[in-house]
């Protein structure tokens, strides 16, 4: 596929090369390489279930080490809140007050989500703000009919000339209502971080955000900083970064031609959360906590959430310490056949390494080289929750084309659900990935790994989107916590469902973990 001179200039302006874009085109044409699931990970077979006594021990390990380690909470927060209100936009588009009442509309369309929304209206964190704005717009608002009040409520939430909530970054949307104020998800992350991502009285947080939102996030932090620091007795160091332009990917038409905008330019799109590996790779901390922007709760649950974060942190610190001791011994030439066997057992027992008899009969030096390669990697400890039929992926045993088995987080988009065997494995899965990780990204010498060395480049996604009424094929990079971390050493620990409280639709804000009163 040939590029014009203008194409080549455009490609180089975003930090790519024509050769790199040609590689992207080949990947889109090839399509998704489905992951071959062997079985779902379960408790005792890839997932740890820790007793209360063991949890206490790991929390003690974490507390003993926290002030000797640098820590940061990494929060992907790039998205706008638009999808939270999708069903309300659809309602505004299709509801005709001249022909239907709202109740008739709900019954006709069997729209349980809309019924839940209206039933819980007064519990929404922004209810009072919307009503206040309604009274500013309509002096006779109290005289409106039941249906008109609710119709104007939704319009006031979403209209770009009113509150325009759908254009907010999700992290700055009103999330939780307290007696004295309404908190955003961004604010809740600060309060959480003070409990577990704080070292030497300072909590470091890093948010990945859209370039358009740089100023409003910065302004919000300045607005709440003093109050949150006073309440938590913690100093906050908050930084932001944007998705790198050179991680954007090309788009094609459905017949694999280059898609062009009306002005003739190529269309490049942000390539999914896998692109955030570049942002993660720029950090230099001993421990990195990863949690999505919308996975927060009201304050009464913070201590419980922090407990399980400390558990995961303690697991990481302990196993990383053992791995580091083995690596030091290897580098000092202090490994014999007996200690090599101990290292192998550690890899099998801790990281679920499955190599069969691959080391059988090898000379000691070759065994040691293999063991070092398998040990000297970033480590992630993932909190895994029982399957509540949420959308998304989970922990599975997978097998690659060479017959090697490993334990991975796999997204549903990577699975051929039309295959009966694969579909049955998914249906019988017991646990789910809530994107709750504690990561170690340094080697035993304190040097930061290049995380790009541990990506499964074949674990990319190809999806179909719409652009100006034209269907286009879009390439997404390997997901941050699946393909992006495919060659990390991984440990999965069962944690309770209270640790997973995402807000995918506005109705999720009505659930108990998001209600203070």
Would you state the structure tokens that stand for residue 503, as one six-digit string? 């807000």
Question: Phi and psi of 273, rounded to 5°?
Answer: -70, -15
Nearest by Cα to 256 from 474, 16, 6, 414: 474
| Cβ burial, residue 202 (10 Å; 0-12/13-18/19+) | middle
Report how far residue 416's alpha carbon sits from residue 102's, in angstroms, rounded to the nearest whole number.
40
What is the per-residue pLDDT for 139? Answer: 97
Nearest by Cα to 378 from 281, 240, 273, 242: 281
The number of helix segments (H) and strand segments (E) in the chain equals 15, 20
Q: What are the residues whose beta carbons fall under 8 Å from the beta carbon of 306, sequence distance 6 or more?
A: 192, 195, 196
Between the alpha carbon of residue 512 and those of residues 13, 120, 301, 500, the distances in Å are 48, 12, 11, 12
Report how far residue 381's alpha carbon sits from residue 257's, in angstroms, rounded to the nearest whole number.
42
DSSP states of 197-217 = SEETTEEEEEEE--GGGHHHH
What is the per-residue pLDDT for 80? Answer: 80
3-class state of residue 199 by DSSP: strand
What is the per-residue pLDDT for 392? Answer: 66
Q: Where exactly are the structural domains of the chain? A: 5-81+169-318+389-514, 82-167, 319-373
- Angle of CA points 292, 281, 64, to nearest 5°: 70
What is the per-residue pLDDT for 389? Answer: 67
Q: What are the residues whose beta carbons fall under 8 Å from the beta carbon of 275, sequence distance 6 or more?
A: 243, 244, 247, 248, 477
What is the per-residue pLDDT for 402? Answer: 83
Strand partners, 503: none
What is the per-residue pLDDT for 390? Answer: 63
For every residue of 127-187, which 3-state class applies, written as one string? HHHHHHHHHHHCCCHHHCCHHHHHHHHHHHHHCCCCCCHHHCEHHHCEEEECCCCEEEHHH
What is the per-residue pLDDT for 1? Answer: 76
| pLDDT < 50 stretches in the chain | none
Please say whether the beta carbons of 350 and 491 come within 8 A: yes
* 500: DSSP letter: -
What is the per-residue pLDDT for 33? Answer: 87
Strand 174-177 and strand 431-432: pairing?
unpaired
pTM of the model: 0.96
Report how far residue 10's alpha carbon sits from residue 7's, in angstroms, rounded to the nearest whole number.
5
Nearest by Cα to 114 from 141, 89, 146: 89
Q: What is the CATH number of domain 5-81+169-318+389-514?
A: 3.90.550.10
Report how far residue 463's alpha carbon sits from residue 446's, in angstroms, rounded to the nearest whole number.
39
| Cβ burial, residue 147 (10 Å; 0-12/13-18/19+) | middle
């Amino acid at each position: 596929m040939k590029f014009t001179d203008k194409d080549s200039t455009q490609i180089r302006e975003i930090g790519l090369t024509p050769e790199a874009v040609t590689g992207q085109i080949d990947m889109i044409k090839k399509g998704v390489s489905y992951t071959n699931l062997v079985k779902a990970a379960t408790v005792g077979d890839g997932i740890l279930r820790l007793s209360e006594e063991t949890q206490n021990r790991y929390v003690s390990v974490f507390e003993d080490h926290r002030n000797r380690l640098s820590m940061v909470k990494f929060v992907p927060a790039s998205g706008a809140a638009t999808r939270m209100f999708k069903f309300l936009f659809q309602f505004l588009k299709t509801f005709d007050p001249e022909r239907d009442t709202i109740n008739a509309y709900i019954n006709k369309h069997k729209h349980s989500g809309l019924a839940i929304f209206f039933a819980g209206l007064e519990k929404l964190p922004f209810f009072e703000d919307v009503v206040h704005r309604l009274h500013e717009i309509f002096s006779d608002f109290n005289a409106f009919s039941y249906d008109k009040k609710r119709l104007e409520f939704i319009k006031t939430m979403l209209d770009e000339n009113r509150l325009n909530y759908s254009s907010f970054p999700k992290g700055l949307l009103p999330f939780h209502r307290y007696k004295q104020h309404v908190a955003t998800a961004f604010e809740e992350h600060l309060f959480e971080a003070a409990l577990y991502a704080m070292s030497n009285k300072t909590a470091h947080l890093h948010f990945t955000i859209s370039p358009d939102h740089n100023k409003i996030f910065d302004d919000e932090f300045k607005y709440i900083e003093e109050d949150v620091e006073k309440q938590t007795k913690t100093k906050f160091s908050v930084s932001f970064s944007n998705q790198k332009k050179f991680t954007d990917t090309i788009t094609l038409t459905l017949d694999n031609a280059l898609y062009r905008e009306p002005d003739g330019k190529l269309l490049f799109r942000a390539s999914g959360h896998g692109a955030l590996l570049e942002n993660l790779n720029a950090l230099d901390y001993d421990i990195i906590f990863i949690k999505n922007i919308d996975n927060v709760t009201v304050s009464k649950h913070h201590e419980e959430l922090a407990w399980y974060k400390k558990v995961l942190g303690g697991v990481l610190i302990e196993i990383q310490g053992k791995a580091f001791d083995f690596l030091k011994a290897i580098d000092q030439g202090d490994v014999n056949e007996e200690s090599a066997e101990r290292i192998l057992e550690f890899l099998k027992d801790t990281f679920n390494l499955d190599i069969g008899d691959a080391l059988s009969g090898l000379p000691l030096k070759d065994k040691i080289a293999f063991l070092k390669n398998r040990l000297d990697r970033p480590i992630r400890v993932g909190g895994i929750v029982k399957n509540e039929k949420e959308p998304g992926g989970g922990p599975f045993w997978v097998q690659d084309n060479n017959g090697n088995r490993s334990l991975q987080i796999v997204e549903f988009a990577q699975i051929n659900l039309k295959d009966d065997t694969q579909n049955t494995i998914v249906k019988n899965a017991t646990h789910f990935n809530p994107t709750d990780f504690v990561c170690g990204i340094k080697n035993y010498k304190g040097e930061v790994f290049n995380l790009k060395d541990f990506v499964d480049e074949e674990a990319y996604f190809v999806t179909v989107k719409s652009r100006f009424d034209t269907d286009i094929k879009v390439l997404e990079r390997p997901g941050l916590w699946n393909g992006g971390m495919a060659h990390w050493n991984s440990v999965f620990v069962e944690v309770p469902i209270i640790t997973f409280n995402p807000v995918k639709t506005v109705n999720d804000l009505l659930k108990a973990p998001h209600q203070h009163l």
